[in-house]
Amino acid sequence: MTLELTSLNRRFSDCAALNDVSLTIAPGEFLALLGPSGSGKTTLLRILAGLDYPESGKVSCNGRDFLAAAPRERKVGLVFQHYALFRHLTVAENVAFGLRVRPRRTRPKRAGIDARVEQLLARVQLDGFGKRYPSQLSGGQRQRVALARALAVEPDLLLLDEPFGALDAQVRVTLRRWLRRLHEELGLTTVFVTHDQEEALELADRIAVMNRGRIEQVGTPREIYQQPATPFVCEFIGKTNRLALQREGGRFVAGGRTFADDPWLGEHAQAIAYVRPEHLTLSTTPLPGAWRARLRHVYLAGAVAHLELEVAALDHALEADIASEDLARMGLHSGDELHVSPGHAVIFSLDRDGGAIAGDRWLWRAGVATTTTRLPARRSEAELGAHRVDGGIQR
């Protein structure tokens, strides 16, 4: 089923939970709604489930008006962050609930229900747990029961609201890989809400990044990570270094280092560059156009080492990630002198007030001729002012 969401608006007493949200969800897709708390992602999910309604906008499913249908007519399975199991019912009764409440003519026979429950419990790897009560299960097991319960009604659309939010880190990783496999087996259209970017990047076919009731960018995890469309996406996804750029003549410069020719042909005096820690090249010998830096601290996190670099020319620190092996080979220690230069950057032009112009994005690569991507300007100037980039700008 193709879900078409068109300019949805939902306001709560003082703030907009959804502000003109449009999105298309393809059949069989695994879509993540990713954003900080209060970004409207849960509201969007609840609207799809029929537990909340937008003030304006449309949701259509294969051309049919989805909003006009009652929750029980939508064929939607919903899994909650805190499981929401019926604690007075056994695991098997929980899973059977959706079948037992059906009107007599569509309700399967008792034996049919039992067989289906058995099959679903096997599917979520809980065979033999049918007679237990939810209070006797661990968090991960409870969430699998909740999933089996949602699948029992044979939904066309599976909605997951922070499904791993209440679980500890190890269970979370195991369970999400398992969920991804299950999704591939079932081929069910799945929408899941999360504030955990790692989870979204790892699991989803596509990610919709949300901020303040708007969708900032929709794309594959690779697109979201490598070609962020807005400053918010740059800062929210992964770690990033922020550099303020000044136009000097026909070039953009930061800390005495020339990035490249001005792609905007003198239109903007300032810009902001986002450089990921893994896109900083380190060297112990001088590189052309590199900044001199001092290694302030090494945070060894297993396979990757996080390096804190003090760059005098920028008067603020940069963070660089290198493989622990490379760190050992280079024989780096705190206090060493280094040369550092960026390899990739995402650059946004700034207007006169220091607000980023989201539509004006420049994907910069060292040594490659300047090209800008003019994304369709979706926003008016006034709205752009709302996302100010401040703090990191040097004058």
Partner 1 sequence: MRRRMLPGFNLSLGYSLSYLGLIVLLPLAALTWKASGLGLGGLVELLRVPRTLAALKLSFGGATLAAAINVVAGLLVAWVLVRYRFPGRRLFDAVVDLPFALPTAVAGIALTALYAPNGWIGQWLAAFGVKIAYTPAGVLVAMVFVGFPFVVRTLQPVLETLEHDVEEAAETLGARRWQIFLRVILPMLVPTLLTGFALALARAVGEYGSVIFIAGNIPMKSEIAPLLIVQSLEQFDYAGAAALGVAMLAFSFVLLLLITLLQRWSRRWAENAP
Window contacting partner 1 (CB under 8 A); options: 3-11, 79-87, 317-325, 330-338 = 79-87
Q: Shortest Cβ distance from residue 213 to partner 1 (Å)?
A: 22
Q: Shortest Cβ distance from residue 383 to partner 1 (Å)?
A: 33
Asked if residue 10 binds partner 1 (CB under 8 A), the reply is no
Window contacting partner 1 (CB under 8 A); options: 43-51, 111-119, 263-271, 343-351 = 43-51
Longest dimension (CA), the chain: 80
Which of 288, 326, 287, 289 shows the shortest CA–CA distance to 307? 326
Among 84, 171, 182, 186, binds partner 1 (CB under 8 A): 84
Which CB, 162 or 262, lies closer to partner 1? Answer: 162
Residues contacting 282, CB < 8 A, separation 6+: 307, 320, 322, 330, 332, 338, 339, 340
Which CB, 64 or 82, lies closer to partner 1? Answer: 82
Q: Shortest Cβ distance from residue 21 to partner 1 (Å)?
A: 21
Q: Shortest Cβ distance from residue 199 to partner 1 (Å)?
A: 21
Residues contacting 350, CB < 8 A, separation 6+: 268, 269, 270, 271, 272, 356, 357, 389, 393
Residue 6 CA, chain-centre distance (Å), reads: 21
Q: Shortest Cβ distance from residue 23 to partner 1 (Å)?
A: 20
Asked if residue 166 binds partner 1 (CB under 8 A), the reply is no
Q: Report how many residues bind partner 1 under the rule CB under 8 A.
A: 34
Asked if residue 98 binds partner 1 (CB under 8 A), the reply is yes
Asked if residue 186 binds partner 1 (CB under 8 A), the reply is no
Which of 265, 280, 260, 287 shows the shortest CA–CA distance to 369? 260
Asked if residue 228 binds partner 1 (CB under 8 A), the reply is no
Asked if residue 85 binds partner 1 (CB under 8 A), the reply is yes
Q: How far, in Å, are 214, 227, 261 from residue 202 at the CA level?
A: 23, 17, 36
Which CB, 80 or 264, lies closer to partner 1? Answer: 80
Among 72, 110, 329, 374, binds partner 1 (CB under 8 A): 72
Which CB, 154 or 267, lies closer to partner 1? Answer: 154
Asked if residue 50 binds partner 1 (CB under 8 A), the reply is yes
Q: Shortest Cβ distance from residue 63 to partner 1 (Å)?
A: 23
Which CB, 13 or 135, lies closer to partner 1? Answer: 135
Q: Which of residues 116-155 bind partner 1 (CB under 8 A)?
A: 133-138, 146, 149-150, 152-153
| Binding-site ranges for partner 1 (CB under 8 A) | 49-51, 71-72, 74, 76-78, 80, 82, 84-90, 97-98, 100-102, 133-138, 146, 149-150, 152-153
